[in-house]
Copies of this chain bind each other. A is one copy, B any other.
């Protein structure tokens, strides 16, 4: 376990990437596995993940992300997008997946489907959007830890004009909105921020035992 803690101490929000180093195809697939295996409410995974390789698209996204250099200089860019129109049909699709994966009859899963629908359907659109967005942040926490495990650097980003990115990636028509961006790659030796001591709330303040 010490290695897990060491990896968390090793990681930092990378400000400058080494433009000569690329994440390998194999490692990229592992990180995609990690995202896919992340927990979510009921296992519904109400989001999708865009991997932006096209250079022109990355340049456009950079403008929408306050010009941050990581958008174009990192090895890879993930855009997480949460579902803005989650409805019963998504639950039906999920139940079909459960039926297939676990070799169960759809009819025997009706009670489970109805339970989920009864909990999710009554939520307001805004509450549903918040809930789908939150689920994607679980995957973010997992992704950052896994990247550190692989000694791959990352910078998660919330600093961008969401409307502009939604437009560039044509997300809204498909029922999604940009949640956050994650750039990954390898830190440049010139990134001074890698040497800054990590700032954290003391455990005595962060935790309360009752």
Q: Please give the number of chain A residues whose Cβ is less than 8 angstroms from any Cβ of chain B in the complex.
A: 68
Whether B137 lies near A208 (C-beta < 8 A) is: no
Q: How far is the CA of A88 from the CA of B149 in the complex (A)?
A: 35
Name A's interface SS.
Answer: helix
Tell me if A142 is interfacial: C-beta within 8 Å of chain B: yes
Tell me whether A64 is interfacial, beta carbon within 8 Å.
no
Counted per complex, copies of this chain come to: 2
Q: Which residues of B contact A50 (CB under 8 A)?
A: 207-210
Q: Using CB atoms, name the residue of chain B closest to A158.
A: B41
Q: Does A164 contact B (CB under 8 A)?
A: no
- CB-defined contacts of A117 to chain B, threshold 8 Å: none
Closest partner residue, chain B, to A135 (CB atom): B137
**Chain B residues, CB < 8 A from A206:** 32, 35-36, 45, 48-49
